[in-house]
């Protein structure tokens, strides 16, 4: 038996974030569900040499046919989602370790005269309100700790409560401020009941209205100089915010929705569907959409809905998407015809659904990245792409070495250009280059200047190489490697500028083209019509990828230079250190606004006095 499993993903494909993973067999049945604080580190353990694995683990990974994962925000969310899916899929390799009856709950004994909050594993307490279940005992204790900062309700057992009622002396929780002390008469039973109802209401709805009310009370108390009350409200707000952050994958019990998220580029879109029933994610489905045409957001959403509900699937009463399409009403009518009842499409902008949408969007972004990585690493696909490019551009041979150039600037300042290199369809990051352009009239002039400098390193065909080339530094030798294909980011004007640089350099035998971003057209020199590659072809995918890489490389360098330049200028001013530079940039938001600011407005910044503000103003204007 081979020690390498056929479905093993590459290490770089697995994210390093918290999440939940599922092993499936060839029929699609879930064999095992697990959670991880770091998915890459955890999953790598399963793909160790088979002889080093525990017998049961070895049997599981050899029975499995695939592994998939879902990224979440925190480890607590991973625990919650793991519990949900263990109960949903009943995976056979989880049964020995997980007992769905052993999970703890947070219960509030509403039937008692002074209700208490407690952790329990039984669900038969009369008149109690239950929240959970939670995947681990520490998770429910952590929730109680946070909630008690906002709602100090009773947590002591009945024996301690009766003893305090008889003695009139509060229990330990009451003495340290973790309870309002209804047992000792510090508050009345009616006042304690009001706090309990707020506790239960917040846990049940996860609504931010209470946080908004506490925020308003905090501001009023601060304005009235009641700082102790304001500090108490501040601590309550922080505690409630922490509870909300820890439950982004668990909604209210009555929530039944399908939540769609997607991430797209010009050629493809990755879709993630979270199926939420009873407030919990019961299933996740993901797929790719190859965009044959240039789809608008509305058209893409229509395509997603047709894929999701074109078969036997019945839509729930509510569907959540990132933004409403133009034909939302018509889409609702179509979905209502399938479901036999009204279906509402909603765009999540804030609250618990928006938080879950953010989690789904992260998974869509990762899926699109994974799709691109796997497609570009496929040797057969790369070979076919290079052959198609050769045929489409009329090249004498396949473009085994391609160089792509892009220009980036900020309103004509800090102009930089990038050169990225792909060999055999794969990036050669060690041969990437950056160019600083002191001055330029426009993008075409920048392209001309950049290529003129690059082509100067190539020996023309009719000149022999210098005898001292073998002694040249490695970076200069690499810069002399001749590309088969030069690509510029842009249309006819940029291609014409690049062609002029080629002619004036005297270098021949290199094919030149440009890719216009809007319609993904390929332009050749002295051509009135573009070359149109099929939108789902591997050839266009490869050209698009090298163009995007050049754009990313240029933008990264331009931003770094811009930040370094302004920090250097400000750092030269006496009395202005790194901390004050950071505060200034945060206050004004941009360098342009700081340059335009008056000395008086600069003096308003924390830590900047009138004298220093005048010096900064004078220095920047000079």
The CATH classification number of 257-374 equals 3.30.420.10
For 4-18, 492-506, 568-582, which range has the lowest pLDDT when averaged over its residues? 568-582
Q: pLDDT value at position 566?
A: 58
Percent of the chain with pLDDT over 70: 79
- Binned at pLDDT 50, 70 and 90, residue 461 comes out as very low
Residue 464 has pLDDT above 60, yes or no: no
Residue 198 has pLDDT above 70, yes or no: yes
Residue range(s) occupied by CATH 3.30.420.10 in the chain: 257-374
For 221-230, 285-294, 304-313, which range has the lowest pLDDT when averaged over its residues? 285-294
Q: Residue 622 burial by CB count (10 A; 0-12/13-18/19+): exposed, middle or buried?
A: exposed
| pLDDT tens digits, one per residue of 516-556 | 876 778 889 888 888 888 877 888 888 888 888 888 888 88
Beta strands in 250-367 (DSSP E): 257-264, 268-277, 280-290, 318-321, 344-347
- Binned at pLDDT 50, 70 and 90, residue 352 comes out as confident
| Helix, coil or strand: residue 290 | strand
- Written as six digits, the tokens of 517 are 């971003």
Residue range(s) occupied by CATH 3.30.420.340 in the chain: 380-559
Q: Looking at the domain 11-89, which fold is it?
A: GIY-YIG endonuclease (3.40.1440)
| Residue keyed to tokens 């796997």 | 374
Select the more confidently predicted residue: 141 or 216: 216
CA dist., res. 574 & res. 567, Å (int): 13
| pLDDT tens digits, one per residue of 24-59 | 998 888 999 888 888 988 898 888 888 788 787 888
| pLDDT tens digits, one per residue of 211-254 | 777 788 888 888 888 888 888 778 777 766 665 555 555 566 67
Pairing of strands 433-436, 485-489: unpaired
Classify residue 430 by its DSSP letter: G
Q: What is the mean pLDDT of residues 337-358?
A: 84
Nearest to 191, CA basis, from 107, 104, 113: 113
| Helix, coil or strand: residue 319 | strand
How much is the mean pLDDT over the chain? Answer: 78
Q: What is the mean pLDDT of residues 259-277?
A: 84
Classify residue 135 by its DSSP letter: S
**Residue 33 CA, distance from chain mean position:** 23
Three-class SS string for 479-538?
A: HCCCCCEEEEECCHHHHHHHHHHHHHHCCCCCEEEEEECCCCEEECCCCCCCECCCCCCH
Residue 91 has pLDDT above 70, yes or no: yes
CA dist., res. 514 & res. 492, Å (int): 7
Q: pLDDT value at position 468?
A: 45
CA dist., res. 537 & res. 391, Å (int): 13
Q: What is the CATH architecture of 572-621?
A: Orthogonal Bundle (1.10)
How far CA 495 is from CA of 259, 525, 530, in Å, comes to 44, 6, 12
Q: Looking at the domain 380-559, which fold is it?
A: Nucleotidyltransferase; domain 5 (3.30.420)
Q: pLDDT value at position 132?
A: 64
180-197 CB burial, b ≥16 within 10 A, e <16: bbbbbeebeeeebbebbe
CA dist., res. 596 & res. 609, Å (int): 18
Select the more confidently predicted residue: 96 or 480: 480
Residue range(s) occupied by CATH 3.40.1440.10 in the chain: 11-89
Check: CB of residue 376 under 8 Å from CB of residue 517: no
CA dist., res. 379 & res. 52, Å (int): 32
| Helix, coil or strand: residue 124 | coil
How far CA 338 is from CA of 254, 275, 318, 353, in Å, comes to 22, 17, 13, 24
């Amino acid at each position: 038996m081979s020690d390498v499993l056929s479905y093993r993903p590459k290490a770089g494909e697995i994210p390093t974030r918290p999440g939940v993973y599922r092993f499936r067999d060839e029929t699609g049945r879930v064999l095992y569900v697990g959670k991880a604080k770091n998915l890459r580190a955890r999953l790598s353990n399963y793909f160790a040499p088979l002889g080093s694995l525990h017998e049961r683990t070895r049997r599981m990974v050899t029975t499995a046919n695939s592994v998939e994962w879902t990224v979440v925000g925190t480890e607590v969310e991973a625990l919650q989602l793991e519990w949900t899916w263990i109960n949903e899929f009943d995976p056979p390799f989880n049964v020995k370790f997980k007992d769905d009856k052993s999970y703890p709950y947070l219960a509030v004994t509403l039937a008692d005269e002074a209700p208490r909050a407690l952790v329990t594993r039984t669900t038969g307490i009369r008149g109690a309100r239950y929240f959970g279940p939670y995947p681990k005992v520490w998770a429910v204790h952590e929730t109680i700790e946070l909630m008690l900062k906002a709602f100090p309700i009773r947590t002591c057992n009945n024996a301690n409560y009766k003893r305090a009622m008889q003695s009139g002396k509060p229990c330990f929780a009451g003495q340290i401020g973790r309870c309002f002390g209804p047992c000792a008469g510090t508050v009345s039973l009616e006042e304690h009941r009001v706090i309990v109802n707020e506790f239960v209401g917040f846990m049940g709805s996860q609504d931010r209205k209470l946080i908004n009310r506490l925020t308003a009370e905090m501001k009023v108390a601060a304005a009235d100089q009641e700082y102790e009350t304001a500090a108490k409200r501040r601590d309550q707000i922080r505690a409630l915010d922490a509870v909300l952050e820890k439950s982004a994958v668990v909604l209210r019990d009555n929530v039944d929705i399908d939540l769609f998220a997607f991430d797209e580029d010009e050629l493809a879109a990755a879709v993630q569907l979270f199926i939420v029933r009873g407030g919990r994610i019961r299933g996740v489905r993901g797929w790719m959409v190859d965009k044959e045409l240039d789809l608008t957001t509305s058209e893409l959403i229509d395509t997603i809905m047709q894929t999701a509900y074109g078969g036997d699937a019945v839509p729930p009463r509510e569907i959540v998407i990132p933004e409403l399409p133009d034909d939302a009403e018509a889409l609702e009518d179509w979905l209502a015809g399938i479901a036999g009842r009204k279906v509402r499409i909603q765009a999540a902008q804030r609250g618990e659904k928006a938080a879950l949408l953010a989690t789904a969007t992260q998974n869509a972004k990762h899926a699109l990245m994974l799709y691109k990585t796997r497609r570009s690493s496929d040797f057969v696909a790369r070979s076919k792409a290079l052959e198609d490019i050769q045929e489409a551009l009329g090249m004498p041979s396949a473009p085994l070495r391609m160089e792509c150039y892009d220009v980036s600037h900020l309103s004509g300042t800090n102009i930089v250009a990038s050169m990225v290199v792909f060999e055999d369809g794969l990036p050669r990051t060690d041969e990437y280059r950056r160019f600083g352009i002191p001055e330029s009239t426009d993008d075409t002039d920048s392209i001309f200047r950049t290529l003129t400098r690059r082509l100067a390193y190539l020996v023309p065909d009719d000149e022999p190489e210098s005898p001292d080339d073998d002694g040249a530094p490695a970076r200069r030798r690499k810069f002399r490697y001749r590309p088969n294909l030069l690509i510029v980011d842009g249309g006819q004007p940029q291609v014409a500028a690049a062609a002029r640089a080629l002619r004036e350099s005297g270098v021949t035998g290199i094919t030149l083209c440009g890719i216009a971003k809007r319609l993904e057209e390929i332009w050749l020199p002295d051509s009135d019509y573009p070359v149109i590659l099929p939108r789902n072809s591997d050839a266009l995918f490869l050209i698009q990828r090298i163009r995007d890489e050049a754009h990313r490389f240029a933008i990264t360098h331009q931003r770094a230079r811009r930040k370094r330049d302004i920090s250097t200028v400000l750092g030269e001013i006496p009395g202005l250190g790194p901390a004050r530079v950071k505060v200034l940039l945060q206050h004004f938001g941009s360098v342009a606004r700081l340059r335009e600011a008056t000395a008086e407005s600069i003096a308003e910044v924390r830590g900047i006095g009138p004298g220093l503000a005048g010096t900064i103003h004078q220095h920047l204007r000079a």
